[in-house]
Structure 1
């Protein structure tokens, strides 16, 4: 069987007046919408691309938590990205030269303890080592073994995301409370709720192309929803401020980032 063969249906169709969950009435179908099926699209992602995406997820997790925790400026953020990539490559070489992956994991926990709480650090480093091992196995042509380590990463990253969401919320609440008080922290909650909703409901068929384009397209929709709500009597905002908020949330807020990634183009 050719490696290009995919038995999964390419298209998913639904009634044009409803959501993708609705069934089409066979006797009276009416207008029909179609798009590439999510599961077909995901099945077409190569092992290499899965590893690269997982590498990017771990890089963003590390840099974003430092920004949230310490308010690091742009120059230091670039340095942190370089530090992560250098550390990743060094430990890829260490495993390749015979250092056990478990030993590397313990050493990485000491390296990244400045960024994460103890429990979060354990899962972060397990996830990181899983990808390092999968990367090495893929480079060596051991594809089945690489997929196994990728599944290990998926399990660890699921727990990691839950812990990260909680930790970010704790850090943000503490910081916002210290600076502005609890009322200011909840000021933009309605904007964020609209944004998350629209990341799903207004996503293009092919998915969001970039964070910047998603924020730019949805900013007016979010602002319009805000202006129609009772919140506009409490505080006013403008398109520029909303656009800035959306781009910031896509970088720093796990819920917004997850909503974006779930509806972005799978490269």
Structure 2
């Protein structure tokens, strides 16, 4: 693992207790930064934060008040927030649109899309005041292509892409950079929410013939979160083993 320059930087990572989020937190810590792990699983977040010398907060990304509390607590513990990685998400059911439970649709949109909006809305004022910030939103290749029997997830991730482009343009004349990544699937706990048929479908679409490693996705996210990423904003960065066609 090559070190990046996160010396003195504070990074909040939603869904940071496991999977892609944890890989990001590990790389931030290994590169001199201070990770704040925001997760609904506080016990695991605290375990990982203690290991990495960071901070943990229980955060439901659909609850704007909880986000504000976590942000204030993070800044008291670690200092002003420089980086947000909005990674928390769920897949929702694997079923056709005509059978899709309405409440499940709303839950996926709330967590995967509205949660990104709420976290960005909370951190942008401080970044503006300090004249620096990096935001990386985790979308999905499903947001570009639309996975069958995953309508809510595909729609939410497409929304994250559009939201990122919008916010990136809003802040383009400031030193705040806003980008997103569109990974293909990685073998994480999120697979527990999917059917084997859906997993097999996703693998069949990846020309590289394998799933991503979380460390590979984290490497791209972390570069986008560095000071070196100074002219890319509102961008959508592929990490899909050749699956993406645009």
TM-score, normalised with respect to structure 1: 0.28
* Structure whose CA Rg is larger: 1
More helix by share: 1
More strand by share: 2
| Larger RCO of the pair (alpha carbons < 8 Å, separation 6+) | 2
TM-score, normalised with respect to structure 2: 0.29
